[in-house]
Structure 1
């Protein structure tokens, strides 16, 4: 059915049609775009109808609220201890210095936390 006001026309769909199309889109292996195209509607409109149907079923009726578990039914579950954030971060790679003179090769690994001491040692060796 189509409605028109002020020169603009808009199609109006029945609730039964909307429910039928939403159910058809929920079938496994069916795309919303294909269902929308087969029923002559825009895929964005169908997506909106699906979201609206999910929102309307998300809140249980009052009768169902009474059957939900209460706090007395709550059972605490022990959780494993999580290491601090520092333990989760990987250790920075050490400063690596490779020196080769003739047939002699030396590799020096220096911790990044002592970078200033590394620079000082290199200044002394190279001066």
Structure 2
């Protein structure tokens, strides 16, 4: 179980013991903390060993989710404007101002100024 003890008191465990203990800890219903105490190992150290890939169960692979590709409905064709100008929509916060073709610019300035205030 203990391969050697360092000068500072740290114990180095054998790989076989680590793998066996991790396997025991993965059994459903086993208390990891209780198992660690019974075998003289710190519970946090055992949990660390359990997170390592090369002892116990391999890490789960990526999960693939089903994807459905749909083509969006075609956008409606814009309506042509005879004289080359088009109406304008201005969004200011929650207000939308629709400016028709040929609007009086002075009137539009007053409306926009009032909305900003």
TM range (shorter): 0.3 to 0.5
TM-score, normalising length from structure 2?
0.45
**Higher helix proportion:** 1
Greater gyration radius: 2
TM-score, normalising length from structure 1?
0.41
